[in-house]
Structure 1
Amino acid sequence: MPIIHVNLLEGRPKEKVAEVIENVTKAVSETLDSPVENVRVIVTEVAKTHWGKAGEPISRE
């Protein structure tokens, strides 16, 4: 059973998160020839204060 973890910055509409889940599921199912029922996608939304780039939190951009 494939389990895929996706980390995203917080703030995206729930419809976009659902679209990511759907598209990742399809891609993994097709690539691994695995039924979609067996694919699990876990989306973790990370606070912008907890995500850094170039030594600084994203929240400072």
Structure 2
Amino acid sequence: MPLIHVNQVAGKTAEQKAELIRELTETYVRVTGAKPESVWVTVEETAKENWGIAGETIAARTAR
């Protein structure tokens, strides 16, 4: 059973996340021939203050 894990900054709508899950599942099924029921997708959201790039938080980068 494949698991696709997405880790992203918080802020996407429920509709956007649902579409992402649908599209990822459809793509995996198309490419691998797997059954949709076997594909699991998780979306983990992290606050901008808790994610850093190049020594600073995404919140600080966004504020610039």
User: TM-score if structure 1 supplies the norm length?
Assistant: 0.93
The TM-score normalised by the length of structure 2 is 0.89
Identity of aligned residues (%): 41
1:13-58 Cα distance to aligned partner (Å, 9 max, x none): 1100111100000011111110111100010011111111121000
Give the aligned partner of residue 17 of structure 2. Answer: 17
Q: Which amino acid aligns with 1:3?
A: L
Number of aligned pairs? 61
Displacement after TM superposition at 1:8 (Å): 1.1
Paired residues for 1:1-61 under 5 Å: 1-60=1-60, 61=62
Query: Which runs of 4 or more aligned residues in structure 1 lie more than 3 Å from their structure 2 counterparts after TM superposition?
Result: none
CA-based RMSD: 0.8
Larger Rg: 2
Q: Which runs of 5+ in 1 are unaligned?
A: none
Give 3-state SS (helix, strand or coil) of 1:11's partner: coil
- d(CA) in 2 for partners of 1:30, 1:20: 15
Distance 2:6 2:55 in 1: 22
